[in-house]
Amino acid sequence: MSLCDVTLREAGQMPGRAYTIEQKIAAGTALDRLGLPLIQTGFPITGEHDTVVTRRLADTLEAEVVAIARAREDDIAAALESGADIIEVFIPISDRQLEAVIDDSRESAFDAAHEAIDSVRDGGAKAHLTLMDAFRTDAASVAPAFEQFDAPITLADTVGARTPPFVAGYLRTLAELGVSINRVGVHFHDDLGLATANALVSSQLGVDRVDVSVASLGERAGNPALEECVVAIEQDGDSGVVLDELVPVCRAVLDSLDETVDPRKAIIGEAVTAHESGLHTAAMLEDPATFEPYDPEMFGGTRQLLFGARTGQSAARELLERAEREPTDERIENLLERLVDDGPLELDAALEMAERVQ
Ligand SMILES: CC(=O)SCCNC(=O)CCNC(=O)[C@H](O)C(C)(C)COP(=O)(O)OP(=O)(O)OC[C@H]1O[C@@H](n2cnc3c(N)ncnc32)[C@H](O)[C@@H]1OP(=O)(O)O
Ligand SMILES: O=C(O)CCC(=O)C(=O)O
């Protein structure tokens, strides 16, 4: 399974955003440190901005650079002009989107996609196909695309309407209809807060490609969070990314784009690897895994043990022992009082206090 990062293209669609070319180049360059196979950079028909970003990143990144295009000659020409390695042609496939977006039939959309894919290949790029709103389309209407097109096909939950049980059932139905799941890519949105869960279910069922974005940046509620998918996949599998760069790269991308996340954001929030509860810190001094799901350092993050008003006798005793002081009852009480007054303190500062306390 390959992860495709879509941050640059999806984040650029968020209302009010006007990233500069240099911001996107910095973000794309940082992303490349993760060793991702695919980085989607933009939609070149929208203008010079996405064309320049795509061209510069296609010239410099190790990852294959993906540009998107409608199934139209002008879009394909613009995408080819941008120098993208892969051009991802997208067409609507649900009845609702066929009517409202292109006012045409599924057969005509397929015909346009065939022509577009031929043009992409004639122009020297690789072609991928995305079926918009696929997850709101009867599987029997989606399965024929896998017979008709030899390109990799991504199925999009364009409005983020689906749940993990639905996604699993949908992919199994496609398999029963003869589709090889290892040809399927998936693109989810987080409108129900389930994009990451949907991505993981798809990954477990053996899809070929999963689209992700840093901190879920993307249209409306965004996409599966890159950092959440990587850490979750790594619990029992291989995400294929450079693990100890994960947190630094995600933060570098956010900095480049001038985006912030809540301190409590999973994996990359500043607060999510900090612990102050007395029962937890006491046990974590012995064995950090007691109260954490993964070692943050494995992903380039840092664990923070804090000592203050919530510290209990066990942790105070351990601090004194580590500071090579006899943990008498009086000393434990004094240390706890000092921690209430001056805390919360990080481990080193708490140890210094334990060294000095009467
Ligand atoms: C699901 C996604 O996230 S897709 C990406 C969404 N991103 C954006 O929309 C980026 C910002 N958009 C834009 O800058 C503009 O909308 C542009 C440059 C893309 C297009 O602008 P315009 O040419 O003025 O057209 P407009 O936005 O009205 O698009 C409608 C046209 O696209 C056609 N179209 C829409 N989707 C497709 C498709 N997948 N394949 C082929 N044609 C399509 C419609 O049929 C319609 O064609 P018509 O003009 O011949 O009637
Ligand atoms: O991923 C693409 O190629 C565009 C389609 C998309 O973003 C979506 O359907 O949500």
Q: Give the DSSP per-residue string, 100-160.
A: III-S-HHHHHHHHHHHHHHHHHTT-EEEEEEETGGGS-HHHHHHHHHH--S-EEEEETT-
Residue in 87, 90, 101, 153 to alter for ligand 2 test, most ligand atoms within 8 A of Cβ: 90
Q: Is the CB of 78 under 6 A from ligand 1?
A: no
Residues 219 and 288 in one domain: no
**Of 232, 257, 282, which closes a domain?**
257
Q: Which atom of ligand 1 lies at the shortest distance from residue 89's CA?
A: 39
- Residue 37, domain extent: 2-257
The pTM of the full predicted model, rounded to 2 decimals, is 0.96
Largest CA distance in the chain: 83
Residues 217 and 289 occupy one common structural domain: no
Please state the domain count of the chain: 2
Residues 141 and 222 in one domain: yes
188 lines ligand 1 (CB under 6 A): no
Q: How far does residue 158's CA lie from ligand 2's centre (Å)? A: 6
For residue 85, give the 3-state DSSP assignment: coil
Average pLDDT over residues 311-328: 97
Tokens of 250: 């995600």
Give this complex's ipTM: 0.97
Q: Tell whether 262 is covered by a domain.
A: no
In a domain, 246, yes or no: yes
Residue 265 lies in a domain: no
In a domain, 269, yes or no: no
Alpha helix locations (H) across the chain?
7-11, 21-32, 48-60, 73-81, 95-97, 106-122, 139-148, 164-176, 195-204, 226-234, 246-257, 278-286, 313-322, 329-342, 347-356
Q: Are strands 209-212 and 274-275 parallel, antiparallel or unpaired?
A: unpaired
Residue 267: inside a domain, yes or no?
no
Q: For residue range 68-116, what is the model confidence (pLDDT) as tens digits?
A: 999 999 999 999 999 999 999 999 999 999 999 999 999 999 999 999 9
Q: What are phi and psi of 186, to 5 degrees?
A: -135, 140
Question: At 312, is the pLDDT very low, low, confident or very high (cuts 50, 70, 90)?
Answer: very high
What are 154-178's pLDDT values in tens digits?
Answer: 999 999 999 999 999 999 999 999 9
Please tell me whether residues 64 and 188 are part of one structural domain.
Answer: yes
> Which CATH number covers residue 95?
3.20.20.70
Do 44 and 103 fall into the same domain? yes
The answer, yes or no, to whether any atom of ligand 1 lies below 6 A from the CB of 72, is yes
C-alpha 30/C-alpha 22 separation (Å) is: 12
pLDDT confidence of residue 73: 98
Are 4 and 210 in contact, with CB atoms under 8 Å apart?
yes
pLDDT band at 204 (very low <50, low <70, confident <90, very high): very high
Return the pLDDT at 64.
98
Burial label, 230 (beta-carbon count in 10 A; 0-12, 13-18, 19+): buried
| Residue from 228, 144, 169 nearest 193 by CA | 228
